[in-house]
Amino acid sequence: MSALDDLFAGVNEQGRGALIGYLPAGYPTVDGSIELLTAMVEAGCDLVEVGVPYSDPVLDGPTIQAAADEALRAGFRLRDVFRTVEAVSAAGGRAVVMTYFNPVLRYGVDAFSRDLAAAGGLGLITPDLIPDEAELWLEASTAHGLDRTFLVAPSSSEERIASTVAATSGFVYATAVMGVTGARDVVGVGAQTLVSRVRAHTSLPVGVGLGVRSGEQAAQVAGFADAVIVGSAFVTAAATGVDAVRALTAELAEGVRRTPAPIG
Amino acid sequence: MSPRDPETEQEADVDPHAPGPHDPDARGHFGPYGGRFMPEALIGALDELSAEYDKARLDPEFTTEFTRLLRDYAGRPSLLTEAPRFAEHAGGARVFLKREDLNHTGSHKINNVLGQALLTKRMGKKRVIAETGAGQHGVATATACALMGLDCVVYMGEVDTERQALNVARMKLLGAEVIPVKSGSRTLKDAINEALRDWVTNVDTTHYLLGTAAGGHPFPIMVRNFHKIIGIEARAQILDQVERLPDAVVACVGGGSNAIGIFHGFLDDPGVRLVGIEPGGKGVDSGEHGATLGHGTPGILHGAMSYLLQDEDGQTTEAYSISAGLDYPGVGPEHSALKDAGRAEYRAATDAEAMHAFRLLSRTEGIIPAIESAHALAGALELGRELGPDGLVVVNLSGRGDKDMDTAAKYFGFYEGS
């Protein structure tokens, strides 16, 4: 059992959804992001996704693009992600890294995996890497005991869902809507349909991301998914400060524990 | 592979759509390059496009309609023009120009655009999005959409909308919506990012009409095949006019679509050197250039593995060129494979070398080239000198220079003291 398997088993026993919060490393600075991520852990995130700021984030909306730009301008270097993960782990948190694949490729897929595992990281989420192209990562993740989260989308065929979840470990990332990251008023009924389609192919936990920003939405999503993934809303809160991040975490953590109301 | 005998050449050898030994594998790999490093959300659309293209390329109804449009709308075949006064500056070698500048809309871009617009209609999609750098691909896309009744949105870096205001006006006149992109470096690379974000949101109704032979599979092979007509015509024309194959075929390389199109006409002629000219900007040692193949390293950008300008952390670095159509930090994956195989060679021409060739062709031949194509002309001057008086060079004159008048007038100081 991986650490993520333990996490989801524990959350499941409590009869609630898991809360997964995303923040880019290095935003607004490396030390600043460590403080924010640690606050997210303390205030109730079951898992944090440490993002790698990247020059060409094609799956990200304006909020995360702007944060990545700011982190890069502030001098973020790829190796800073390991220090960030290490700090989160030392604070008792659990962390995976979410990254576009080119920085990993450039660092060396095996070297990146080795250094991430050494820092206490649990796995990678790879938004622009499909299992078809992931040979190096499949080998390195096995060698270093890391979990592999691949994404599925409403447009994924049954065959692609099946092959994607077969290559996945830890949890499956279901993108709630067709589009880029960013807080939305309505997460969409499509997410529930997608989760059902994924469950037909796997018993792995399924997390839903893209668009969640409130306790209300978190409660709805937790009604049908194993984890609620929140990104842009945390980045927006981070721009205000650590108190806003704590408050948002608390609201979302309460949401994933609420008895769900049906999606209307 | 042995050289083909022009006397016994079969029709099948020159069908640009026929599957052949130079196709990538089923997942779009040219050796270690290409593939699909794309979000899962877009894989369905790429699969749909691949399936439709694989059917269309074998469907006489499609290929006949495409060929008819190239002839009756784009004006093909384009001429092959000898440039003897220009060639006096090229060591006395003979230089021939493949006149893609004479195509409708003024560049080679129309070939690919007509093919993909036809495919868009076959897929039942009504909306087309495109990126553009210099504006040539945007204008060509807006043109094809007007012709075929498709909605058209063009993403263009804000820097480029300023450099190429005339092309923005042309696109608007043709009925396209032009969206200035304000993120990142605000040039071609970021226009592609923004187009991909639109595509992932609207993929059910929208075709992304990518303008170069890059991106996730099937774009590199599909765009290449739509441009292969350039090389097929050029080969037949040079044999007709000179009765021998050229020593070298020269083309500029940004993303690499015009180059891959003309190279393919000569790929199986081992005696013909294929030479790509990348933008050397202010000099390849200055750090301000776009010489991806010459000075990059393999990596991922916009869905494919290929050579890339990147820093040691894998962040894409910004390319620079005086030419808005060449300042792209990536390059089509087949060029990477041709480079590694040694079948094609890639050099750079600086801004200054390109602008020298730009003015030289204008003054010696009465042909104003696009600044992009002027890079190939600069390469031809160099190659001609290397080959000497017996040399024979074919240059792909990929576009005309009307759009570059403002840049040129500033560069040469035409606005001063008048």
Give me the mean pLDDT over the B383-402 stretch.
97
Query: For B3-7, B33-37, B379-383, which range has the lowest pLDDT when averaged over its residues?
Result: B3-7
Question: Of chain B residues 67-126, which have a CB less than 8 A from chain A?
Answer: none
Phi and psi dihedrals of A45, rounded to 5?
-75, 125
Percent of chain B beyond pLDDT 70? 96
* Inter-chain touch B200–A104, beta carbons under 8 Å: no
* Inter-chain touch B38–A130, beta carbons under 8 Å: yes
Asked if residue A264 has pLDDT above 80, the reply is no
Q: How far is CA A218 from the centre of its chain?
A: 15
The confidence score (pLDDT) of residue B183 equals 86
Q: Does A125 touch chain B (CB under 8 A)?
A: no
Question: Which residue of A77, A133, A150 is in closest CB contact with B313?
Answer: A77
**Closest Cα in chain A to B318:** A55
Burial B233-272 (b: 16+ CB within 10 A, else e): bbbbbbeeeeeebbbbbbbbbbbbbbbbbbbbbbbebeeb
Amino acid at B155: Y
Asked if residue B163 has pLDDT above 90, the reply is no
Asked if residue A61 has pLDDT above 80, the reply is yes
Compute the mean pLDDT over every residue in chain A, rounded to the nearest whole number: 94
The CA distance from B144 to B166, in Å, is 18
The confidence score (pLDDT) of residue B4 equals 56
Percent of chain A beyond pLDDT 90? 89
The confidence score (pLDDT) of residue A187 equals 64
Q: Does B27 touch chain A (CB under 8 A)?
A: yes
Q: Does A108 touch chain B (CB under 8 A)?
A: no
pLDDT-derived band at B221, boundaries 50, 70, 90: very high
Asked if B358 and B377 touch (Cβ cutoff 8 Å), the reply is yes
Percent of chain B beyond pLDDT 90? 89
The confidence score (pLDDT) of residue B185 equals 80
C-alpha dihedral sign at B102, B106, B111, B115: negative
Query: pLDDT tens for residues A114-125?
Result: 999 999 999 999
pLDDT-derived band at B269, boundaries 50, 70, 90: very high
* Inter-chain touch B43–A61, beta carbons under 8 Å: no
How many Cα atoms within 13 Å fall on the side-chain side of residue B112? 33
pLDDT-derived band at B11, boundaries 50, 70, 90: very low
Give me the mean pLDDT over the B144-167 stretch.
93
Asked if residue B13 has pLDDT above 70, the reply is no
Asked if residue A188 has pLDDT above 70, the reply is no
* Residues in contact with A17: Cβ distance below 8 Å, sequence separation at least 6, in sequence order: A11, A218, A221, A222, A223, A225, A226, A227, A228, A256, A257
Q: Does B48 touch chain A (CB under 8 A)?
A: no
CA distance B356 to chain A (A): 34
The CA distance from A15 to B77, in Å, is 70
Compute the mean pLDDT over every residue in chain B, rounded to the nearest whole number: 94
Give me the mean pLDDT over the A56-66 stretch.
92
Structure tokens at B161: 């909308």
Give me the total of CB pairs closer than 8 Å, taking one residue from chain A and one from chain B: 115
Give me the mean pLDDT over the B348-360 stretch.
98
Q: Does B240 touch chain A (CB under 8 A)?
A: no
Asked if residue B2 has pLDDT above 50, the reply is no
The confidence score (pLDDT) of residue B10 equals 47
Query: For A17-26, B223-232, B316-325, B378-387, which range has the lowest pLDDT when averaged over its residues?
Result: B316-325
The confidence score (pLDDT) of residue A178 equals 81
Q: How far is CA B272 from the centre of its chain?
A: 20
* Inter-chain touch B197–A180, beta carbons under 8 Å: yes
> Smallest Cα–Cα separation from A187: which of A151, A150, A216?
A216
Give me the mean pLDDT over the B52-78 stretch.
97
Query: pLDDT tens for residues B310-350?
Result: 999 999 999 999 998 898 999 999 999 999 999 999 999 99
Asked if B368 and B220 touch (Cβ cutoff 8 Å), the reply is no
Question: Which residue of A65, A103, A180 is in closest CB contact with B314?
Answer: A103
The confidence score (pLDDT) of residue B5 equals 54
The CA distance from B134 to B68, in Å, is 27
Give the CA distances from residue B155 to residues A65, A182, B143, B159, in Å, rounded to whole numbers and listed in that order: 17, 20, 15, 12
* Inter-chain touch A56–B41, beta carbons under 8 Å: no
The confidence score (pLDDT) of residue A183 equals 67
The confidence score (pLDDT) of residue B184 equals 81
Asked if residue B77 has a cis previous peptide bond (ω within 30° of 0), the answer is: yes
Asked if B312 and A106 touch (Cβ cutoff 8 Å), the reply is yes
> Smallest Cα–Cα separation from A150: which of A140, A159, A138?
A138
The confidence score (pLDDT) of residue B418 equals 56
Q: With both helix axes pointing from N to C terminus, report the angle between B188-202 and B40-56 in degrees, rounded to the nearest 10.
A: 90
Taking the model in full, what pTM does it have?
A: 0.95
Q: Does A202 touch chain B (CB under 8 A)?
A: no
